[in-house]
Amino acid sequence: MKVLVAVKHAVDHNLKPFVDATTGQVDLSQARRVINPFDEISIEEAVRLKERGLVTEIVAVSIGGADAKDSLRHAYAMGADRALLVETDVRLQPLSVAKLLKVIVEREQPGLIFLGKQAVGEDYGQTGQMLAALLGVGLGTFASALQLKDGSVEVTREVDKGTQTISLQLPAVLTSDLRLNEPRFIKLPNLMMAKKKAIETLAAGELGIDLANRFTVIKSNEPPQKPGAVQLASVSELISTLRKAEVLQ
Amino acid sequence: MSILVLAELDGNKLKGLAAHVVSAATAWQKPIDLLVYGSQVEEAAKEAATLSGVARVLVAQADHFAHPLVEDVQDLVLSIAKEYDVIVSAHSVLGKSVIPAIAARLDVAPITDVVEIHAPSSYVRPEYAGNIFSHVENHQALQIVTVRNTAFRPVATDGNAEVVSISAPLSRAISNWIKEDLNHSDRPELGSARVVIAGGRSLGESFEALLSPIAEKLDAAIGATRACVDAGFAPNDLQVGQTGTLIAPDLYIAVGISGAMQHIAGIKDSKVVVAINHDPDAPIFKYADYGVIADLFTALPELDKALQ
Ligand SMILES: Cc1cc2nc3c(=O)[nH]c(=O)nc-3n(C[C@H](O)[C@H](O)[C@H](O)COP(=O)(O)OP(=O)(O)OC[C@H]3O[C@@H](n4cnc5c(N)ncnc54)[C@H](O)[C@@H]3O)c2cc1C
Ligand SMILES: Nc1ncnc2c1ncn2[C@@H]1O[C@H](COP(=O)(O)O)[C@@H](O)[C@H]1O
């Protein structure tokens, strides 16, 4: 069975973003980009399935600029078999990304399709759900464990007060949650090897999809900073202060 | 035209989320229909009808909604969607799963995790784990939205809406519910508790023993950091933060928590934040209103005693 993994070249989650005062927009010009952490988890899961002989081929797909090849190389270094870049210089919104991924899914015919539960940055958390709906296939969001069966997959999902297990007919779309696995550490030789591998490139504009944005971010702002804690000498002082402030009875 | 709000059930009861989502939906000042679906909906429909501002409660009862699957909820909403120009849901696990799917089938981009609504088509939503707030203008005729419930005060329960039965499409049966493992606790629910006390990984094996007596005295919910959950000291439904539960209590007490960006993202709507940490430079003190620099293993028993 073939597995397709969507990989976003996303803003590093350790980075504290800031707003450019003149444009009123988040300044990403210097922002380091890396593979979206949830997509790294997806690749890891696909590789583990392949190591257990349940999967024959792993195709990593990214939509973005030429720099997204870095994340595809990361996928190669972890064990992906093929990488595909749908190239565009425009920052696409999730609906367009889902439509482009649908084109690739129809071409590749994977049995299982992994996306991340959200991409760090805009934190939309939409693309996987949209892709499943457009394909008319089953959807398992927030996957924290899975088990392949004959023609189906059993997915354990993180829900409000615990977990839920559902079974989906294949093909199906899953969105990876943090606890699905712990991605492996990439060894340097693997990374060197990944640099030599070919990345097939398609132009996003030539796939017959309407890529127009549906909403506009007018401006962004950073939340007001708090002044910092009033330090209290002891727990008893804390309690008397909270009582005085009528936070505690 | 009017507004469709999606409700959710917890067992056969209406989830408290609905009162927040209805409150958000009043921003459009148009009639609100509240959709309730389940296998036993009578009790929830009655509760829904009392929510102030709801014009009609639409009730879809079907066996397959005992454990609603995303495809089936999609099909139900799509069967009535053309009557609405706004569709709103909570940014809950179910809302997050189902709303983008519904939107995609209507060829609409949804606006998710909204914390402010400027009707008819402008929104504020957090990005970058709550470090940025973006103002979004939606250019589409149909507005499909999920709202962060903690950002909207619940409506009152003095309403008396009309209850209307609607029929549910058949289940598509491309997926099946198998089981649920839910943690039952008598404590208040994390997402709506008035007081939350949370611990980090440094509490170790004594997490529950240290926090539960205090939680009981304060009628508080207990929360944890991801590091604490990952280390196996707390169950994962206690995780507070960007990838856990978002909370908005009147009082949040963070014990042995460093204050990582992803944790802070989940507590930003708390009214008063208290931090107890032995490291004076812990980032949590930047977000806290009150701090105590102390070893938690002595501070927590002291706190417990002082509350007696
Ligand atoms: C994509 C992503 C999503 C994430 N989502 C979340 C999330 O939703 N929620 C979340 O919480 N984290 C999340 N994290 C993890 C987050 O970055 C931090 O690693 C985590 O919050 C740290 O937990 P901690 O404060 O328990 O541990 P640490 O960072 O190790 O901090 C321990 C703290 O305890 C203090 N301490 C130690 N011993 C004592 C003592 N005896 N007395 C008093 N104080 C003591 C230390 O001074 C320190 O400040 C996420 C990370 C990533 C990458
Ligand atoms: N430009 C992209 N290229 C490849 N995959 C993407 C892209 N954008 C989003 N995705 C996938 O969709 C998931 C959720 O993203 P989002 O809906 O933007 O939060 C990500 O974890 C990726 O798996």
Two domains, one topology: B2-165 and B195-306: yes
Per-residue confidence (pLDDT) for residue A229, from 0 to 100: 94
Average pLDDT over residues A99-105: 98
Q: What percent of chain A has pLDDT over 90?
A: 90
Report which of A11, A89, A63 is spatially closest to residue A201, judged by C-alpha positions.
Answer: A63
Tokens 């004594």 belong to B206
Beta strands B132-138 and A215-221, pairing class: antiparallel
Cross-chain Cβ contact A223/B268 below 8 Å: yes
Residues of chain B contacting A117 with CB distance shorter than 8 Å: 243
Strand A152-159 vs strand A138-149: parallel, antiparallel, or unpaired?
A: antiparallel
> Which amino acid type is present at position A30?
Q
Ligand 1 atom index nearest CA of B261: 17
Please choose, from the candidates B266, B273, B222, the residue with its C-alpha nearest in 3D space to the C-alpha of residue B243: B266
Question: Using an 8 Å Cβ cutoff, are B114 and B125 in contact?
Answer: yes
How many angstroms away from the CA of B85 is the closest CA of chain A? Answer: 16
In this structure, which topology does domain B195-306 adopt according to CATH? Answer: Rossmann fold (3.40.50)
Instruction: State the pLDDT at residue A224.
Output: 84
Is B230 in a helix, a strand, or coil? helix
Q: Which residue among A126, A167, A214 places its CB closest to the CB of B140?
A: A214
The whole-number pLDDT of residue B196 equals 97
List of chain B residues with pLDDT < 70: none
Contact B177 A164 (CB under 8 A): yes
The tokens for A53 are: 């002989």
Check: complex ipTM more than 0.85: yes
Per-position DSSP letters for B145-164, written without gaps between them: EEE-GGGSPPPPS----EEE
The reported pLDDT for the residue numbered B269 is 87
| Rounded CA separation B214/B226 (Å) | 21
Ligand 2 pocket residue status of A88, Cβ below 6 Å: no
**pLDDT given at position B189:** 87
In chain B, where the domains are located: 2-165, 195-306
The model's confidence at residue A93, banded by pLDDT at 50, 70 and 90, is: very high
Confidence at residue B192, expressed as pLDDT on a 0 to 100 scale: 84
Rounded to 5°, angle at Cα B166 from B162 and B172: 150
List the domains of chain A with CATH numbers.
2-224 (3.40.50.620)
Q: Does A176 touch chain B (CB under 8 A)?
A: no
Query: Over the stretch B157-200, which tens digit does the pLDDT of each residue have?
Result: 999 999 999 999 999 889 999 999 988 888 888 988 999 999 99
| The dihedral sign for the CA sequence A43, A46, A51, A52 | positive
Any bridge partners for residue B57, and if so which? B34, B163
Cβ atoms of A229 and B285 within 8 Å: the answer is yes
- The H or E element that residue A78 is part of is helix A69-78
Residue B24: its pLDDT value, please?
Answer: 98
What is the pLDDT at residue A162?
A: 87
pLDDT of residue A30: 84
Residues of chain A positioned with their CB less than 8 A from the CB of B104: 95, 98, 129-131, 133-134
Going from the Cα of B199 to the center of ligand 1, the distance in angstroms, rounded, reads 9
B2-165 maps to CATH 3.40.50.620: yes
A28 close to B (CB below 8 A): no
Rounded mean pLDDT, A147-176: 95
- What pLDDT sits at residue B305? 94
Residue B177 touches partner A, C-beta closer than 8 Å:
yes
How confident is the model over A196-227, as pLDDT tens digits? 999 999 999 999 999 999 999 999 999 888 88
Contact A133 B102 (CB under 8 A): yes
Burial B194-224 (b: 16+ CB within 10 A, else e): ebbbbbbbbbeeebeebbbbbbeebebbbbb
Pairing of β B132-138 and β B122-127: antiparallel
Distance A120 CA to ligand 2 centre (A): 9
Cα–Cα distance between B199 and B209 in angstroms, integer? 11
What does the pLDDT average to over A75-100? 97
Q: Is B279 on the interface with A (CB under 8 A)?
A: no
